[in-house]
Structure formats: structure tokens, C-alpha cells
Amino acid sequence: MSETLNSGEATAPAATKVPIEISNVRPAPGQIALKAPRRAKPPKHIADFDMAGRRDFLKELGYQSFRASQLSKHYFERLVTDPAEMTDLPAKDRERMVAQAMPQLLTPIRTLEADGGDTLKVVHRLFDGALIESVIMRYDNRVTMCISSQAGCGMNCPFCATGQQGLTRNLSTAEIVEQVVAGARYLKQMKGLEEAEGGSEDTRPLRVSNIVFMGMGEALANYKATMGAVHRLIDPSPEGLGISARGLTMSTVGLVPGIRKFEMEKLPITLALSLHAPDDELRDELIPINQRWKVDETLDAAYDYYRTTGRRVSIEYALIRDINDQGWRADLLGKKLAQRGRGWVHVNPIPLNPTPGSKWTASRKGVEQNFVERLRAHGIPTTIRDTRGSDIDGACGQLAAKEEEE
């Protein structure tokens, strides 16, 4: 494990101008928060808007509307934020225009590397002092980013580090998008890019191709900002980053109305359902939202999402020792999935990344393998999820929580 500040720069982060009180009081067991607390809003940014909205935004700031297209090319295509590099803008207005239309939204305060530099976890401080995380994971054939949609989370799942923090606030569309742009900017600046393009030994991709809304927060509980971010990510430049919608994954603990609404967007985005238990008795405890929308209702919504979009649903299942890893639960899960049809679902058992002081820990290897084999016996495609960053506080929210304590 190695640690750097500000993506390798040995400089201290800028002080937060408008600090907020971040409560250390943990939510009561089973208590959920679907509505975020009211907080001061972050400054507006061109990434908050589609192109028409950006033109209006620039006009409101006192500039000609066509500047929106120029700024968009710099931000989404060139990944540039330095006014000095935007030579197509008037020199006398350049710095002020960029400061107003593209304000700094994230300040990296801690960066941890693992897996030989292939996994990078960054803690960002927002304008109001709230903390979020994003993760970059490099593989042989892709680069995946895991991004946050909320500061904290209101779902209060007891084995999740983020859930134990409670919900501070929703992120804006631009705060979500900026995590990806910052990651893409980092990859662009990585040493050896030119050599890789020239066919050197390290020829793995250095462009973000896959994005999972699996960081801090429940994305479907911040629906409007999340969908705005989705379009900034998938719309072609200069509208957005032009990432394929098929490379995106939307994770949810099972907000059934949100799944139904997302289904109607009819986008070829993978839905990942964090199930973690096939029976209501246990899931009521592990995933408190299950007390409102039960397992079968949630699976029905996921199946309908598949039928509408044609995208196979991913079932996320964190294997927790002696809690949800029994063979009979694998059989029950297999039966419930199989009775809805074939080919619509894939299960990803996940070795749990434990959090300090928690009673929850990962299943034994033999138990894990038995769980997988029993699911496969029901005809359910099952793959143990690759775990990255377990030595850098890999559980979502774990590193941000540590920063708040220090």
C-alpha cells in the first residue's frame, strides 16, 4: 500500500471556506432516510446542465451563449480546467469566466494506492466540508470507476461503513460528474501514456470505460442529479464524455419506485441489486429498506427492468460469515431467481470487506464455494466478485469515515 496527497502532489489541500457540522451520531438501527437534509447548495457548474442549459447559464453570467460550447469542449473533451490552456477564450475574461462557469467542486485530500498502482482510492472534500470517495480500478481490458452519489447514505445497512455514517446530503449533478472527469484527467496525466500508445510493455487502457454508481450513497434516492450525471457521462462530446451507456452500472439496495422509474428511461445500463439475503426475515435486518419493499417485490421490479431494457441484472450478495452464507439460503435464492426465468440475472457473491470493530466478517472459503456451487446447480450464472483495495480501507465510506475521525 502507498499513500499520496492530491494525486501524488506533495501539497496540502486548500482549507474549506464554508465548513459544515458533520454529525458523528449514528442512525438508530433500522432507521432510513429517503430525503436528504437541506444544506447550502454547491456552486453551479456547466456540468449541471445540458447544452441548452449551459447556454442560458453563460448568458446569466453575462457572457455570449456560444461560450458554452467552447467551455464544454475544454471540460468534457480536453479535460482541461486551467484558463491558460483555453486560448480560444478572450484573454481579459478567461480566468473570471472559468471561475464562474467551472468552479472547483472537489478537493482531493487523500489518495491511496493498492494492487501495484492499479487501484486508486481518493477522498474528496466538497465545498461545504463534506467528504466523498471515488475509486479507479485498472484491468487488462478496461478502466472502471466507482463513484459516489451522496455524501453518506440514508439506507443504514449495518455491515456498510457508509450506512453507519448517516446521510449528510445529496450531491449535485456536477459533483457526481466531476469525480469521473477528475479520474479521466488523472489517467490522461499518468506517466507512460505516450509509451503505452506506442506499444510499450504497459498497453492497458488509460481511459475510463466503465462506471459503477456503487460508491457512497443510494443513487436512486438522488434521482434527478443522478440522471443528469448519467447523461453527462454518456452524451457525446461536447455535450458529455461520450462513454457507452452499456459501460454504466446503477446500483440500488432496492428502492422499488426508483427501479420502476429508472426502467422507464429505457437506457441500456446494467442494474445491480444489492440483495444480500433471499428471505425477508434476514433482509429486514441487513437492508432496512426491505421493511418497506420486500424481497419478491424487489426481484419482480428487477426482472421487469431486464424485460424492458434487455440488460441482464446483477445481484450483489456480500457473503457474511454465519449470517447469510448458509447453503439453504443459496438454494432459496436460486429458486427465486430461476422461477422468474432464465438468462435474466447473474449473481456476484462478494467476499465482505470488514470494517473496524464490526461483528461482520467474510465467509470461510469452503462455505463461499459451496454457496456458489448451489446457485449454479439452479442454473444461475454466478461469479465471485474480484475484490480490490482491501488493504486501503476498501469498504465504501471506510476511508472517508477515517478522515472525519482524524
Residues marked active site are found at 133, 396
Helices 173-189 & 223-234 angle (0-180, nearest 10): 30
| 259: its cell numbers | 427501479
DSSP single-letter state for residue 395: S
First-to-last CA distance in the chain?
Answer: 19
Please name which of 361, 394, 358, 378 lies closest in space to residue 278, comparing C-alpha atoms: 378
Q: Per the omega criterion (within 30 degrees of 0), is the bond before 238 cis?
A: yes
Q: List helix spans (H) across 16-62.
A: 51-60
Please state, in angstroms and rounded to a whole number, the distance separating the CA atoms of residues 285 and 280: 9
Please name which of 308, 236, 300 lies closest in space to residue 265, comparing C-alpha atoms: 308
Contact present, 269 and 309 (Cβ < 8 Å): yes
Place of cell 461545504: 128
Please state, in angstroms and rounded to a whole number, the distance separating the CA atoms of residues 9 and 64: 36
Task: Determine which helix (DSSP H) or strand (DSSP E) holds 375, and give its type and residue range.
Answer: helix 365-377
Please state, in angstroms and rounded to a whole number, the distance separating the CA atoms of residues 147 and 362: 24
**Residue 145: strand pairing partners:** 136, 211
